[in-house]
Structure 1
Amino acid sequence: MTTSPRLTDYKVLVFDCYGTLVDWETGIYEGLKPLLLRFPGAGWSRGEALEGLERAEKKIQAADPALLYPDVLAKSYLELENELVERFADGNTPSSSSAEDAKAFGASIKNWPLFPDTAAALRELSKTYKLCILSNVDRGSFAHTHAKLSTGDTNALASPFYSPDPAQEWWFPQRIPGADSPFSMILTAEQVKSYKPALPGFLKALEIIRDELIGGEDAVKNTMWVAQSLHHDIEPSHKLGLRSTWINRGGAAMGAEKGPPKYTWTFSSMGAFAEAVKNEKA
């Protein structure tokens, strides 16, 4: 007789960041508002605008997996603008965006807000697991987010404690003297030159977890994936035999996936997930 898996059966959690820990949809939508205001005839809802940006982003990431994420965002902004021009431009539409507008949108990652329950949930979960990140972003942008996640201060900025060591191939924040990070390992698309849902980042993360964090034990058996995006994380982690937890942030427009559920557990927030782990241990 096989027993059902428990949340506390695992040694390592790997998180998606943007969408799961950080409210990237709010950050992206705020950055798109000046562009959307130029096309009132589109009448796009927030969800339609985000889906449009996601369409552009997927195409650009697939075409150039080595492109840094701020450049992906900048190109996606211009791609979305081209779609709006083709479909909704009229004689009253203002002139096109500048390269500076697109670059500013690409640089907005550092301003994206945390979900309110994120920092406390990470601290609670770090009492039970080694916490890791695999994110479709670059190291420089993530340094700002890392400071927010580590301090809980939504205005925190990158510092030597929260930035990658340029001499290290991989990013192990807790090995930096004086660092107060909840994460044992951070891996970005910049390092693996691959964007999720492609599998190279997942495979590299599991390799590092096995060799650096759990002493050569089976990484698939000892790792749970935690994410909001079904498309970017839950589906590909399932292909590798990993158990996963879906953080089902209600009303999310990005990261949807068709087909039967591939996750083992689901919670409405990081706070609810952390509380369930705490209760299971009690």
Structure 2
Amino acid sequence: MNKPTLASFNTLTFDVVGTLIDFEQGILDWFRPLLTRHSAEKCDEDILTTFAECEDQYQQKAPDKPFTAMLPLIYRDMAALWKIDARESEAKDFRDSIQTWPAFPDTVAALKELGTHYKLVAVTNADAWALQSMSATLGDPFDEHVTCDEVGVNKPSPRVFNYVLEKLATLGVRKADILHTAQSQYHDIVPAMELGFSTMWIERRHGKGSFGATPTPEQIAEPTFHATSMEDFVRQVQRQQI
């Protein structure tokens, strides 16, 4: 079977947190002042990998809990590991901070360009209120969206991807029309490939030698396409449009 080209698709389904929104920067911006207040010294990589380890535990035992609802629990677990007194107000503040997490510098312009070629669909483990804020940060680029609270379970569950197919089928979109685009092998690329989706891996941590704040996958799937940034993705699309 011949590999499809980027011109073969009419719909891009996007992971949001980590692919379009720089969640690692958002996490660091929130935790650095907290650690300073408690005179706790942790390097950035320690903060990110501890976050990933705590998230992985909740993905395993509570996959129906939106990522947004996991954030206060992750904060409490991280505080306990670092022997910091966890405060309920801080747990809520960490959850709410998702509304101000920044976009990657290349995201907004890339989405604007990609929107001239494809239908754009958000597929996120966050719930609807969080996506509303993140979408505004991104310039409200999405034609459709699927949130965790809508599906009732998180990625990497195959239920999310099957729900996406059912929802988009009502718009006349087939699996063959969809290119699932994401940075997380754990949440997105591995399960999407197992279900027969074509994928674009945006390797945001290219060259960094670790998975950062994303849980480590049991395996690395070979994506259909690979880019090191959204800007790189756009360049590849533009080359195939010539």
- Output the CA distance in 2 between the equivalents of 1:79 and 1:146: 28
Q: Does 2:238 match 1:239?
A: no
1:71 touches 1:103 (CA, 8 Å); kept in 2? no
Q: 8 Å contact 2:193–2:221 — kept in the other structure?
A: no
Paired letter, 2:76: L
1:149/1:260 CA distance change after superposition, 3 Å:
closer
Q: Which amino acid aligns with 1:211?
A: T
Which residue, 180, 185, 193 being the options, matches 1:230? 185
Question: In the alignment, which residue of structure 1 is the partner of 2:233?
Answer: 273
**Deviation of residue 3 (structure 1)?**
3.1
Equivalent positions of 1:164-243 (< 5 A) are 181-214=140-173, 219-243=174-198
- CA spacing shift, 1:110–1:274, aligned 2, 3 Å: same
Contact 1:135–1:187, Cα closer than 8 Å, also in 2 = yes
Q: 1:190 to 1:49 in 2, by over 3 A?
A: same
- Asked if 1:5 corresponds to 2:4, the answer is yes
Q: Which amino acid aligns with 1:199?
A: P
Tell me by how many angstroms 1:39 deviates: 5.7
The reply to whether residue 76 of structure 1 matches residue 74 of structure 2 is yes
Which residue of 2 is the match for residue 148 of structure 1? Answer: 137
- Which residue in 1 is equivalent to 2:110? 121
Distance 1:260 1:232 in 2: 11
SS at match of 1:244: strand
- State the one-letter code of the partner of 1:281: Q
Long gaps (5+) in structure 1 = 86-94, 151-180
Moved more, 245-254 or 58-67: 58-67
Q: What is the Cα deviation at residue 49 of structure 1?
A: 1.2
Superposed displacement of residue 60, structure 1: 2.3
Distance 1:182 1:259 in 2: 32
Structure 1 186/131 Cα, relative in aligned 2: closer, same or farther at 3 Å?
same
**Residue correspondences, number:** 236
1:199–1:39: structure 2 CA closer, same or farther, 3 Å change rule? Answer: farther
Q: Which amino acid aligns with 1:65?
A: P
Aligned partner of 1:98 in structure 2 is: 87
> Structure 1 pair 39/192, CA: closer, same or farther in 2 (3 Å)?
farther
- The answer to whether the 8 A contact 1:229-1:254 is kept is no
**Structure 2 partner of 1:167:** none
Report how far residue 194 of structure 1 moved: 0.7
Structure 1 residues 68 and 3: CA distance shift in structure 2, 3 A: closer
What percentage of aligned pairs have identical amino acids?
Answer: 30
Q: Quick one: which amino acid aligns to residue 245 of structure 1? A: M
The correspondence of residues 127-138 of structure 1 with structure 2, limited to 5 A, is 127-138=116-127
CA distance in 2, matches of 1:260, 1:54: 17
Task: State the alpha-carbon separation in 2 of the partners of residues 39 and 192 from structure 1.
Answer: 41
User: Distance between the aligned counterparts of 1:193 and 1:83, measured in 2?
Assistant: 29
Q: 1:51 aligns with which of 49, 52, 56?
A: 49
Q: Which has the higher contact order (CA 8 A, sep 6+)?
A: 2
- Aligned-residue Cα RMSD (Å) equals 1.8
Larger-gyration structure (1/2): 1
Any conservation in 1 of the 2:198–2:223 contact (CA below 8 Å)? yes
8 Å Cα contact 1:23-1:112 kept in structure 2: yes
> Partners of 1:66 and 1:245 in 2: how far apart?
26
Q: Determine the C-alpha separation between the residues in 2 that align with 1:266 and 1:19.
A: 16
Query: Matched residues in 2 for 1:253 and 1:213: separation?
Result: 37
- The alpha carbon displacement at 1:65 in A equals 3.5
8 Å contact 2:185–2:220 — kept in the other structure?
A: no
